[in-house]
Structure formats: C-alpha cells, structure tokens
Structure 1
Amino acid sequence: MNLSLGIKVLIIVICALVSIIIGIVAGLLKYTPATPKAPAVLFGGGAFGGSLTLCLLVMSSLGVL
C-alpha cells in the first residue's frame, strides 16, 4: 500500500490510543486497594508497551506502515 504520510501518522496515533486504553485497563485489573500502586503502574506500562509493539508490528507486516 502506498499511503500518504498523514494517514500513516493517523494510524500510529490510533495504535497508541488503543494501547493506552489497554494499559489503563490492565493497570486497573492489577490494582487492589490493599497493595501499593507502583506494581499496578508498572504492569500497565508493560501492557502498553507490549500492545503498542504488537500493533505496530501487525501494521508493518500488513504493509500499512
């Protein structure tokens, strides 16, 4: 696919926003009121990084990026 630069940036932004939502949900699922917040934040950050990497790899393999 030969997409313009604006469309590619839009796809990257969409991937980042979806990954942010996944990271927030993962952090909320990990957090319990009796424990500190730091492990939940680290878990959410790891989920964000993993999902963003996976999303960008899939888009690259499909030829979109």
Structure 2
Amino acid sequence: MNLSLGVRVLIVFACASFSVNIGMAAAWLSHTPGSPAGEAVLYGGGSFGGTLALCLAVLKALKVL
C-alpha cells in the first residue's frame, strides 16, 4: 500500500494506544493487594512492548507500514 505519512503516523498511534490499554489491563490484573506496585508496572510494560511489537510486525507483514 502506498499510504501518506500522516496516515502511517495515525496507524502507529492507534497501535500504541491499543498497546497502552493492553498493558494497563495486564498490570491491573497482575497486581495483588499487599505486593509492591513495581512488579505490576514491569508486567504491564512487558505486555505493552510485546503487544506493540506484535501489532507493528503484523502491519509490516501486510505491507501497511
């Protein structure tokens, strides 16, 4: 696909927004009362990174980016 730069930026922004939501949900689900919040933040950050990498890899394979 031959998309303009603005459309590509919007697609990457949408992927990042989706990944942030997945990371926040993963951190929220992994946090237990009485445990340090740092563990949940690291878990959410890992989920964010994995989700963003997967989204961008799929878009690259589909030749969108």
Q: TM (normalized to structure 1)?
A: 0.98
Alignment correspondent of 1:10 = 10
Give the 4+ runs in structure 1 shifted more than 2 A: none
| Percent identity for Structure 1 against Structure 2 | 55
Provide structure 1 residue ranges, at least 5 long, that are not aligned to the other structure: none
The structural deviation recorded for 1:34 is 1.4
Q: How far, CA to CA, are the matches of 2:7 and 2:22 in structure 1?
A: 23
Provide structure 2 residue ranges, at least 5 long, that are not aligned to the other structure: none
How many matched pairs? 65
State the AA in 1 paired with 2:48: F
Q: TM (normalized to structure 2)?
A: 0.98
* Superposition RMSD in Å: 0.4
